[in-house]
Structure 1
Amino acid sequence: MAKMVLTASYIALSGTDLSNWANSIELSIEVDEKDVTTYGSGGWKENLGGLKSGTLALEFKQDFAASALDAILWPLFGTVVTFEVRASNAAVGTSNPKWTGSVLVKEYTPLSGNVGDDASVKVSFPTSGAVTRATS
Structure 2
Amino acid sequence: MSKTVLVNVRTFAAGVDVTGVSNKIELSSEVEVKKTTNHGSGGWDEVVGGLGSAELAGEGQWEAGDVTKVDDGAWAGLGGLAPWTVSANNAANVGDLAYFMQAMRGDYKMFDAVGEVAPWTSTAKSSWPLVRGQFAHPPGTARTATGTGTGLNLGAVAAGKRLYASLHVLSVAGTATPTITARVESSVDNTFGAATTRATFAAATAVGGQVLRTDGTAYTDTWWRIAWTISGTTPSFLFAAALGIR
TM-score norm. by structure 2 comes to 0.51
SS in 2 for 1:40: coil
Paired residue type of 1:82: P
Residue of structure 2 in register with 1:86 after alignment? 87
Q: 1: distance between equivalents of 2:82 and 2:16?
A: 11
Q: State the identity %.
A: 32
Unaligned runs of 5+ in 1: none
Contact in 1 for aligned 2:16/2:70 (Cα 8 Å): no
Structure with bigger RCO (C-alpha 8 Å, 6+ apart): 1
SS in 2 for 1:51: strand
Residue of structure 2 in register with 1:124 after alignment? 123
Superposition deviation, residue 54 in structure 1: 0.9
TM-score norm. by structure 1 comes to 0.88
Match runs of 1:24-43 below 5 Å: 24-43=24-43
Q: 2: distance between equivalents of 1:114 and 1:15?
A: 29
Q: 2: distance between equivalents of 1:25 and 1:92?
A: 21
Q: 1: distance between equivalents of 2:14 and 2:66?
A: 18
Superposition deviation, residue 108 in structure 1: 1.4
Contact in 2 for aligned 1:84/1:98 (Cα 8 Å): yes
Superposition deviation, residue 125 in structure 1: 1.4
Residue of structure 2 in register with 1:48 after alignment? 48
Larger strand proportion, structure 1 or 2?
2
Residue of structure 2 in register with 1:75 after alignment? 76
Superposition deviation, residue 2 in structure 1: 2.4
Residue of structure 2 in register with 1:23 after alignment? 23
Superposition deviation, residue 74 in structure 1: 1.4
Paired residue type of 1:39: H
Q: Deviations over 1:29-57 (max 9, x none)?
A: 00000001110000001111111001100
Superposition deviation, residue 89 in structure 1: 3.4
Larger radius of gyration: 2
Please tell me the root mean square deviation across aligned C-alpha atoms, in Å: 1.7
Q: 2: distance between equivalents of 1:92 and 1:28?
A: 24
SS in 1 for 2:64: coil
- The count of residues paired between Structure 1 and Structure 2 equals 133
Q: Deviations over 1:53-78 (max 9, x none)?
A: 01100002001234422122211112
Q: Deviations over 1:79-129 (max 9, x none)?
A: 100110010233254xx42111111012112x3311222211111111111
Residue of structure 1 in register with 2:187 after alignment? none
Could you list the structure 1 runs, at least 4 aligned residues long, displaced by more than 4 angstroms after superposition: none
Match runs of 1:103-114 below 5 Å: 103-109=103-109, 111-114=110-113
